[in-house]
């Protein structure tokens, strides 16, 4: 489905109805707005993991502007702030009352911007494998941080460095997915990345825009305390992309937050430990708050 929002078309798709019939009566379930990462990906890789929530929630997947099945306005309009405003307008247009926002990786960047720019429009955040900045993070706990270099050979590290330095092309992205992609998951799940990404079509131009224009300027560390809605912070113990120390900063800074570490996951914890993921999200939705 398409909605015309802020001078472009935003694609969204829905899993599960809002109203459920239980013992002869109609009840509403929570709505989760799912925001993909990348940036430059689309929502497809989220489906397997988040689809497990459809018995307890309505899920609305969104392809952010310039990505997936959404429109292609000028790339300079594809800022994190504008994407957050697009999602807020979609929520208003669809008449959704106080949804929860799921943001994975860079989708979490957008989710946090949304909470800061439109605080009255969402009930809570589910921040998964994300970070408040791409700059180095000092961890007061001084705990070890997972790193690609701990697991990968020099060739793989060199392929990753090429992408992270901004050398992004169809050829370099293909090589990156083949060489580095498996390491996005935990050691026992390294075949999972390729399976998940089959459902996603990367946008090379948007990936380059994100890596060279958006990421270097992204830093919400000093603003996180302004987020006052319940926030569930989830991270994989093997996630070197957005490591646990980044999630610890988020959890310490947002007053109504709780962090949960997934011991056997990397960057795709919703598919690496799906039952645990479903359980912690179900608890969060059931109480509308974070519990001790």
pLDDT at 1: 93
Collapsing DSSP to helix, strand or coil, 115 comes out as: helix
CATH class of 2-146+202-287: alpha beta
- Model confidence at 135, pLDDT cuts 50, 70, 90, reads confident
Mean pLDDT of 63-78: 97
* pLDDT tens by residue, 142-170: 677 899 999 999 999 999 999 988 899 99
pLDDT at 166: 87
pLDDT of residue 292 exceeding 70: no
Mean pLDDT of 16-26: 89
Residue found by looking up tokens 């560390």 in the block: 221
pLDDT of residue 289 exceeding 90: no
- Model confidence at 24, pLDDT cuts 50, 70, 90, reads confident
How many C-beta atoms surround the C-beta of residue 194 within 10 A? 13
CB 220, CB 113: distance < 8 Å: yes
CB 222, CB 249: distance < 8 Å: no
Collapsing DSSP to helix, strand or coil, 286 comes out as: helix
Rg (the chain; Cα; Å): 18
* pLDDT tens by residue, 161-212: 999 888 999 999 999 999 999 999 999 999 999 999 999 999 999 999 999 9
Burial pattern 206-242, b for ≥16 Cβ within 10 A else e, equals bbbbbbeebbeebebbeebeebebbbbbbbbebbbbb
- Model confidence at 139, pLDDT cuts 50, 70, 90, reads low
Distance CA 254, CA 233 (A): 10
Q: Which two tokens stand for residue 258?
A: 């709780």
- Nearest residue to 101 via CA among 175, 34, 157: 34
First to last CA, the chain: 39
Domain boundary assignment for the chain: 2-146+202-287
CB 258, CB 251: distance < 8 Å: yes
């Amino acid at each position: 489905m398409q909605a015309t929002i802020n001078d472009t078309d935003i694609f969204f798709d829905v899993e599960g109805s809002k109203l459920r019939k239980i013992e002869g009566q109609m009840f509403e379930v929570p709505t989760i707005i799912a925001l993909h990462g990348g940036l430059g990906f689309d929502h497809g890789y989220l489906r397997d993991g988040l689809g497990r929530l459809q018995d307890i929630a309505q899920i609305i997947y969104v392809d952010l502007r310039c990505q997936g099945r959404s429109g292609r306005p000028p790339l300079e309009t594809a800022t994190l702030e504008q994407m957050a405003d697009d999602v807020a307008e979609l929520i208003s247009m669809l008449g959704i009352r106080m949804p929860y926002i799921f943001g994975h990786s860079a989708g979490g960047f957008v989710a946090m911007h949304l909470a800061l720019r439109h605080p009255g429009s969402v009930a809570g955040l589910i921040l998964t494998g994300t970070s408040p900045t791409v700059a180095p993070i000092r961890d007061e706990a001084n705990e070890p941080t997972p790193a690609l270099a701990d697991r990968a050979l020099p060739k793989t590290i060199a392929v990753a460095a090429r992408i992270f330095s901004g050398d992004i092309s169809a050829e370099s992205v293909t090589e990156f997915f083949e060489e580095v992609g498996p390491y996005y998951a935990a050691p026992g799940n390294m075949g999972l990345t390729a399976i998940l990404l089959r459902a996603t079509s990367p946008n090379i131009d948007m990936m380059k825009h994100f890596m060279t224009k958006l990421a270097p300027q992204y830093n919400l560390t000093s603003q996180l305390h302004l987020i006052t809605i319940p926030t569930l912070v989830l991270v994989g113990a093997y996630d070197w992309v957005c490591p646990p120390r980044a999630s610890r900063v988020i959890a310490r800074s947002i007053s109504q937050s709780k962090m949960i570490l997934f011991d056997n996951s990397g960057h795709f914890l919703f598919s690496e430990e799906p039952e645990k993921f479903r359980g912690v999200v179900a608890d969060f939705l059931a109480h509308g708050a974070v519990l001790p």
